[in-house]
Amino acid sequence: MSSSPKIVRTVPALRAAIESLRSRKSTVALVPTMGALHDGHVSLVRLAKRRAARVVVSIFVNPTQFAPSEDFDSYPRTWKADLAKLAAEKVDLIWHPDVKAMYPDGFATRIVPEGPAIAGLEDRFRPHFFGGVATVVGKLFTQCRPDYGIFGEKDFQQLRVVARMAVDLDLGVKVIGARTVRERDGLAMSSRNVYLSPEERRVAAELYRAMKETRRRIKGGDDIQAAMSGGTALIEAAGFMLDYFEIRHAETLAPITSADDGPLRILVAAKLGRTRLIDNIAV
Ligand code: PAF
């Protein structure tokens, strides 16, 4: 039997709970999430447990990172199942504020990230996104004051943005990236995969195969641009509408011209029907 983690919904209650978690100078790791937890999130929690004595998971579907045309209202909310998963992992604390607790009346202060946040990848298609993410993660870090913040590599640009922000704003949090967890056929786990029809779900793993094939060609010495064009063709032939398929410097996300400009990362975003998928791999 697993006992239920403590759940707090207001900032004063959170402060008191964090104070008590830290009472024996315990280290604290925070896993920020929007709920709809899957095995990828569970792997973040397990990494957090290896790093710190205490683990806090936040569940907050953050309205400021969704454009009006996006899926804020329909974003999957699976509170009971999330709670069962976090209890099974013996998480110490769940921070589950409502929108008013996170953004009180008159809220007027935002973080505007630059550097990796304006690399011309996700920001080109979701210009509102990183401002919303940086603002809420900045708040989560100051609310929870964790020693570690754990983020999935699947949202690779987001990982680079929050890592940069933590350093730039002296937030005292070490940001740690966790490997992407994949389904058996290679599709990266994502809360939005539930939007895929059975036929789209079958095709979705082609994104990973195209990235792997492109990596194989680059590692084998092929011209980078030729390998990237080959990957683009594979993705489009599978039926995706491509937003971008790019190879970048893995730390700065700056464009690269040669395989020696590494470490390298291939990043992709593409729509399958109405579902937008993102993924990336190291080269
Ligand atoms: O990756 C996510 O789930 C969200 O962008 C995050 C980091 C929890 C901020 O809302």
pLDDT in tens, 240-269: 999 999 999 999 999 998 888 889 999 999
Amino acid at the residue 167: V
Q: Which atom of ligand 1 is nearest to the CA of 33?
A: 8
How much distance in Å is there from the Cα of 133 to the middle of ligand 1? Answer: 6
Does 276 reside within a domain? Answer: yes
Q: Indicate which atom in ligand 1 lies nearest the CA of residue 32.
A: 8
- The pLDDT score that the predictor gives to residue 138 is 98
Q: Is the pLDDT of residue 157 over 90?
A: yes
Å from CA of 67 to ligand 1 middle: 15
Please state whether beta strands 93-95 and 54-59 pair in parallel, antiparallel, or not at all (unpaired). Answer: parallel
* Ligand 1 atom 3 nearest Cα: 33
* CATH number of the domain enclosing 18: 3.40.50.620
- Kindly state whether residue 247 falls inside one of the protein's structural domains: yes
Contact 262, 242 (CB under 8 A): no
The predicted model scores a pTM of 0.96
Residues involved in catalysis: 41
Closest approach atom of ligand 1 to CA 62: 10
Give the pLDDT confidence score for residue 262 in this predicted structure. 81
Name the β-bridge partners of 270.
242, 277
Determine the distance separating the centroid of ligand 1 and the alpha carbon of 164, expressed in angstroms: 16
Query: Do 121 and 253 meet the contact criterion of CB atoms below 8 Å apart?
Result: yes
Q: Are residues 19 and 84 in the same domain?
A: yes
- Residue 101 falls within a domain, yes or no? yes
Asked if residue 206 lies in contact with residue 235, where contact means CB atoms within 8 angstroms, the answer is yes
Kindly provide the b/e burial profile for residues 68-107, where b requires at least 16 CB atoms within 10 angstroms of the residue's own CB: eeeeeeebbebeeebbebbeebebbbbbbbeeebbbeeee
Of 150, 178, 206, the residue that ends a domain is 178
176 touches 46 (CB < 8 A): no
Look at residue 2 in the predicted model and tell me its pLDDT: 59
Same domain, 199 and 168: no
User: Looking at the domain assignment, is residue 186 inside a domain?
Assistant: no
**159 and 198 co-located in one domain:** no
Among residues 178, 212, 230, the one where a domain terminates is: 178
Catalogue the E-assigned strands of the chain: 6-8, 28-33, 54-59, 93-95, 148-152, 174-178, 241-249, 264-272, 275-282
Q: What is the pLDDT of residue 3?
A: 76
The set of protein residues with a Cβ atom below 6 angstroms from ligand 1 is 32-34, 62, 65, 133, 136-137, 155, 158
Could you tell me if 150 and 272 lie in one domain? no
Residue nearest (by alpha carbon) to ligand 1 atom 1 = 33
Can you tell me which residue has the tokens 């709670």? Answer: 83
Shared domain check, 273 and 171? no
Cα Rg, the chain, nearest whole Å = 19
**For 43-63, what is each residue's pLDDT tens digit?**
999 999 999 999 999 999 999
140 CA closest ligand 1 atom index? 9
Of 178, 203, 233, the residue that ends a domain is: 178
130 C-alpha to ligand 1 centroid (Å): 10
For residue 185, being part of any structural domain is answered with: no
The angle formed by the CA atoms of residues 191, 95 and 102, to the nearest 5 degrees, is: 90
- CA-based nearest residue to 144, from 15, 275, 283: 15
Going by pLDDT thresholds of 50, 70 and 90, the confidence category of residue 21 is very high
Do 196 and 159 share a structural domain?
no
> Are 224 and 162 found together in one domain?
no
Q: For position 226, which CATH number holds?
A: 3.30.1300.10
Sheet holding 241-249, edge to edge: 241-249, 264-272, 275-282
Residue with CA nearest ligand 1 atom 7: 32
pLDDT for the residue 155: 98
Specify the number of domains making up the chain: 2
CA of 32 to the centre of ligand 1 (A): 6
Is the domain of 152 the same as that of 244?
no
Full domain range(s) for residue 75: 7-178
pLDDT for 82-114, tens place per residue? 999 999 999 999 999 999 999 999 999 999 999
Same domain, yes or no, for 105 and 49? yes
117-122: long-range contacts, CB 8 A cutoff, minimum separation 24 = 117/157, 117/161, 117/164, 119/157, 119/248, 119/252, 119/253, 119/254, 121/157, 121/244, 121/246, 121/248, 121/253, 121/267, 121/269, 122/157, 122/158, 122/269, 122/278
**Smallest CA separation from ligand 1 atom 8, residue:** 33
Partnered with residue 175 across adjacent β-strands are: 149
What pLDDT is stored for residue 257 in this prediction? Answer: 86
| Average pLDDT value over all residues in the chain | 96
Beta carbons of 161 and 119 less than 8 angstroms apart: no
